[in-house]
Structure 1
Amino acid sequence: MKWLGAILILITCTWIGFEAAKRLSDRPKQLRQLKVGIQALEAEMLYGLTPLAEASVRLSKQLAYPINLLFEHFAKNLDSKGESAHLAWEQSLDETWGVTSLLKGEREILRQFGQTLGQHDREQQQKQIKLTMVHLDREEAEAKDNQLRYEKMLKSLGFLGGLLIVILML
């Protein structure tokens, strides 16, 4: 019975380490998807002159989970509640943030981006989007660096932490 408990503890701790490493590796991917989404939104808004809700629906179908949820909720919030773009974006961030691997810094960048949606002329909107992209580029570089540094360590730490608990228990 002791051995069964020890194996379960080891498996659980290893799984926790792998999950933490997965969140770390998902962050750069999600940042890239977010950048693609914002660039596509820029193209739809500025060059295609597509309404925000319609552009967001298109993007939600093109992007991968969980970033597609952000644009899907944004489109729904714009349509159903008739809110301003800023409030709809804020609400979409609140609704979808828990399923992403993104951090507080990215949330603040996206919140600031949402404040400018639909508030300026084309030229000013384009400048705001470029500024957002610069910030997201910086965050993506940091996320890649953290992934390279800590991903393998988290996996090992999960296993070794479980092993330590098993040894201390026996």
Structure 2
Amino acid sequence: MLIKIAGVLIIIISSSYIGFLIAGFYRDRPKQLRNLQAALHMLETEIIYFSTPLPDAMRKISCKCDPRVSDVFKTVAEMLDKRQGYTAGECWEMAINSFYQNSSININDKEILISFAKYLGSTDKDNQLKNLKLTRELLHKQEEEAEEVRNRNEKIWRYIGVLTGVMIVLLIF
């Protein structure tokens, strides 16, 4: 009897955990998009108003912004410091590709961030400013969409996880 109870608990807890993991993706995406927007706003300030060189600006931002997105800026700063022959845009693109694999952003968010790389460090301040503002606006639209999707799907996936576990238990026993 004790083994059955343990089995029931393991099944329900496991399926609930999976449901909560999937729900976590929907919960984290809007936060990460907000954090990326804030970090890009800091980058705008560093480049446009303080005229900070790009590697130094990236390093400063990596220390100031949310830890979940700071690795992007830290990676870019390190790559630019090593002077491996990559442009700032290429460094940004590689950092975003690495970030994408361990984050909650989707492919559309990634494409917006990669399109930002085309002009990073290769145009004058005015064009940099326009590019930063455009990227932030696009990320803001993505954030609003992500918030709507979160509102629809977060609770559903939690319930699906728990109810799937209960259903499996009922089918087995």
Q: TM-score, normalised by structure 1?
A: 0.96
| 1:55 aligned counterpart, secondary structure | helix
Q: Distance in 1 between matches of 2:115 and 2:21?
A: 30
- Give the secondary-structure state (helix, strand or coil) at the position aligned to 1:119: coil
Gaps of 5+ in 2: none
Deviations 1:18-58 (CA, angstroms, capped at 9, x unpaired): 11111111111110110000111011011111011111111
Alignment partner, residue 65 of structure 2 = 63
In structure 2, C-alpha distance between the alignment counterparts of 1:70 and 1:166, rounded to whole Å: 44
2:80 corresponds to which of 75, 78, 89: 78
Distance 2:118 2:8 in 1: 52
Deviating runs (4+, > 2 A) in structure 1?
A: none
Aligned counterpart for 1:89 among listed residues 62, 85, 92: 92
State whether residues 66 and 99 of structure 1, in contact with CA within 8 Å, keep that contact through their aligned partners in structure 2: no
Name the CA distance, whole Å, in 2 between partners of 1:27 and 1:113. 19
Question: How far is the alpha carbon of 1:99 from its aligned partner?
Answer: 1.9
For residue 147 of structure 1, what is the amino acid of its counterpart? R
1:36 aligns with 2:38: yes
| 1:24 paired residue number | 26
| CA displacement at 1:75 relative to structure 2 | 0.7
Q: What secondary structure, in the 3-state scheme, does the structure 2 residue paired with 1:116 have?
A: coil
User: Which residue number corresponds to residue 124 of structure 1?
Assistant: 127
Letter in 1 for 2:105: L
In the alignment, which residue of structure 2 is the partner of 1:166? 169
Q: CA deviation at 1:82?
A: 4.3
CA distance in 1, matches of 2:16, 2:153: 15
Taking only aligned residues, the RMSD between alpha carbons, in angstroms, comes to 1.1
Match of 1:143 in 2: 146
SS of corresponding position for 2:51:
coil
Point out the more displaced range, 108-117 or 18-27.
18-27
| Conserved? CA contact 1:23–1:101, under 8 Å | yes
Residue-pair matches, total: 170
d(CA) in 1 for partners of 2:140, 2:132: 12
Distance, in Å, in 2 between the alignment partners of 1:104 and 1:60 is: 23
Q: Distance in 2 between matches of 1:121 and 1:63?
A: 25
Uncovered stretches (5+) of structure 1, i.e. residues with no partner = none
Distance in 1 of aligned mates of 2:43 and 2:85: 19
Measure, in 1, the Cα distance between the counterparts of 2:168 and 2:18: 14
Asked if residue 98 in structure 1 is aligned to residue 110 in structure 2, the reply is: no
